[in-house]
Amino acid sequence: MKITAYFSVAIATALALTQAAPTQNEEHLQGHKIPLMHNPEHKRDFKSAMAKLNHRYPQLKLRVKGPKRNSFRDIVNRGKGGTVPTTNYGPDYEYFGPIQVGSTGQTLKLLFDTGSSDIWFPSTDCNTDACMAHTRFDTQKSRTFKADSRTWEIKYGDGSTASGILGSDMVNVGGIKLRQTIGLALNQSVEFARAPEDGIFGLAFASLHTVSGVSTFMENAIATNSVVSPVVSAYLPSKRINGGEGGYYLFGGIEKDRYVGELTYVPVTKANYWQVHVSDLKFNGKSLGAYASEVIMDTGTTLIIVTDAAAQAVHEKIQGAVISKSEGGWVVPCSLRDATDTISFTLAGKDFLVPIADLAWDPLLDNSGFCYSGVQGGQKDGLWILGDMFVKNNYCVFDHNTDKPAIGIAPIKY
């Protein structure tokens, strides 16, 4: 990414006290948090968000256009016990934070991501420009590292690649120490050099891992009773509302004080991504038509991506909204930041709101008074993506209940 701003958000996790158990009837579990720290020198970047989506979901055949870039990886396809401060890059763009790996606790900044499953970062055996631009993990300095003969490779639609070997080591996420399979990059193409994070901390299901048979961090945390309950809760407040202050991820717990009313649990329809079903799309509470879709709830994506037709239906309700060929997407008047209208997504029979004010997301550089919209088209058919544009308005609990995984959702509370 090419954004200069940093926010420290807390990613908190609950202390391991009991056997992990289903949580959909539990109202409150206390965790530990680190307050968000504000750095005012931020700059949003729509072009990077569009570039990210083109490469993040090549298998979905997204048709997100966006201005062409020479670099990929302005963002990559992107813990319980204790606390992990994270950085909100943008702000409201992506969230990454430090973990410690190995016997000497080497610190790496990883992007916490419900849209992927791998944990990977560069090795000191990688000497490409991209690897050299980041903190690299030195296996020789860890007495607990164990080599693995398996290899891994990730390819993106623009030709950027990362590849390497698997290994395992002790991974410390906010005080919880687990032996975890990790991917060590031995090669990264140059497009990765500009990414602010060192690598990825995936929070999706194991079936999405690039190497079959690898357990995720949450699977291992549950198996070792390292979390109170098998959940990861996301509280990612909006900068527009409160300066983005006080956000965190809570591993193993649910904090009732951070949402309004009760959680609605939306069943996962396919357990690789956190995939659920949206039955309707509304503007100010009124249906926009026959718009229903399977969607991915993805903390590693900034915007909301729907079909071209659904995006048009939303923007037809917004005075002054136009689709810009030169900018590669929908743009809206920046004055929308004072609007009170809403769009909503119906999940499990309940409407969850996104303020139209948030759609005025990233100002164009031409001083025209227009902003890139937080809702974009790009899908001809198939999966929509509900990124942080949705999550920052709705408290989300990613429940790994073995029998019936679900996402608990309720309006966020400030």
Note whether 177 and 170 are within 8 A (CB).
Answer: yes
- Asked if the structure places residue 1 within a domain, the reply is no
For the beta carbon of residue 140, count every other beta carbon within 10 angstroms.
9
- Please check whether residues 309 and 358 belong to one and the same domain: yes
What is the tally of structural domains in the chain?
A: 2
Note whether 354 and 343 are within 8 A (CB).
Answer: yes
Chain Cα centroid distance, residue 269? 19
259-310 pLDDT, tens per residue?
999 999 999 999 999 999 999 999 999 999 989 999 999 988 889 999 999 9
Strands (E), 273-328: 274-283, 286-287, 293-297, 304-307, 322-324
Return the CATH number at 304: 2.40.70.10
**What pLDDT, on a 0 to 100 scale, did the predictor assign at position 9?**
32
**What pLDDT, on a 0 to 100 scale, did the predictor assign at position 227?**
86
**What pLDDT, on a 0 to 100 scale, did the predictor assign at position 322?**
96
- Please check whether residues 137 and 168 belong to one and the same domain: yes
**What pLDDT, on a 0 to 100 scale, did the predictor assign at position 40?**
40
- Marked catalytic residue, from 298, 362, 388, 399: 298
**In 3D, which of 224, 239, 220, 155 has the Cα closest to residue 182?**
220
- Please check whether residues 271 and 323 belong to one and the same domain: yes
Q: Does the annotation mark 341 as catalytic? A: no
Note whether 344 and 285 are within 8 A (CB).
Answer: yes
**What pLDDT, on a 0 to 100 scale, did the predictor assign at position 177?**
87
**How far is it, in rounded angstroms, from Cα 191 to Cα 201?**
19
**What pLDDT, on a 0 to 100 scale, did the predictor assign at position 379?**
76
**How far is it, in rounded angstroms, from Cα 365 to Cα 368?**
8
Burial of 96 (0-12, 13-18, 19+ CB in 10 A): buried
Q: Give every CB contact of residue 47 below 8 A, 6+ residues apart in sequence.
A: 66, 67, 69, 74, 328
- Please check whether residues 184 and 119 belong to one and the same domain: yes
Note whether 321 and 315 are within 8 A (CB).
Answer: yes
Encoded tokens for 286:
């009124």
Q: Which of 166, 200, 234 is the last residue of a domain?
A: 234
The parts of the chain modelled with pLDDT lower than 70 are 1-91, 95, 156-159, 381
- Please check whether residues 281 and 230 belong to one and the same domain: no
224-246 in b/e form (b: 16+ CB < 10 A) is eebbbbbbbbbbbbbbbeeebbb
- Asked if the structure places residue 250 within a domain, the reply is no
- Please check whether residues 137 and 261 belong to one and the same domain: no
- Please check whether residues 276 and 217 belong to one and the same domain: no
- Please check whether residues 62 and 194 belong to one and the same domain: yes
Q: Does the annotation mark 148 as catalytic? A: no
- Please check whether residues 128 and 219 belong to one and the same domain: yes
**pTM, rounded to two decimals:** 0.84
- Marked catalytic residue, from 113, 158, 388, 399: 113
**Which domain covers residue 347, as residue numbers?**
257-411
